[in-house]
Amino acid sequence: MTGSAKRNASIVALSLWAGLLVAGAGYAQDRGMTLQGLGGGEVLSQINAAPDVERQSFSDGGFGRAYRQQPPLIPHKVDGYQITPTNNACMNCHDWPGNTKVKAPKVSETHYVDRQGVRLDKIAGTRYFCRQCHVPQADAKPLVGNTFENAAEVK
């Protein structure tokens, strides 16, 4: 056999072995059989609840910025927000006139200007995906210590 034929035969054999392994596990489950896992005979009999997730911070005056022209941080959860080519969930509250109804900060006018400097009636495509620049802020303990000072503190 040539080298490529041996390699192809090995791939076929490995694929068959993997298929048999999956089929065997399915057969065992159908028959109510217990398979022994890598942990030996130990079986988890208790499912613990997921730990609490750090809640978002809600700062009345917004979050301070660490440097000039830093995009504002998001003071609320955005886990389920969808941004598609036809809908940006952020704009429901932050685009005019929706922002006046919910008293949310309006998107900066710079977000309505395209690369050529043309003013638009809708958010520019270059500013459409909010989370490229704006991130949610959590009031969580730092994972590692640091001595960071923001630009105003350094002066």
pLDDT band, residue 51 (cuts 50/70/90): low
| Residue among 59, 53, 76, 61 at smallest CA distance from 134 | 76
Q: Which pLDDT score is estimated for 85? A: 85
Looking at the predicted structure, is the pLDDT value of residue 35 above 70? no
Burial of 94 (0-12, 13-18, 19+ CB in 10 A): buried
| Mean per-residue pLDDT, 58-77 | 76
The residue to which tokens 């001595």 are assigned: 147
Tell me the C-alpha to C-alpha distance, in Å, between residue 110 and each of 22, 61, 105, 127. Answer: 55, 22, 14, 9
Check if the beta carbon of residue 99 is closer than 8 Å to that of residue 109.
no
pLDDT band, residue 79 (cuts 50/70/90): confident
Task: Tell me the whole-structure pTM to 2 decimals.
Answer: 0.53
The DSSP element (H or E) to which 84 belongs, if any, is strand 83-84
Looking at the predicted structure, is the pLDDT value of residue 59 above 60? no
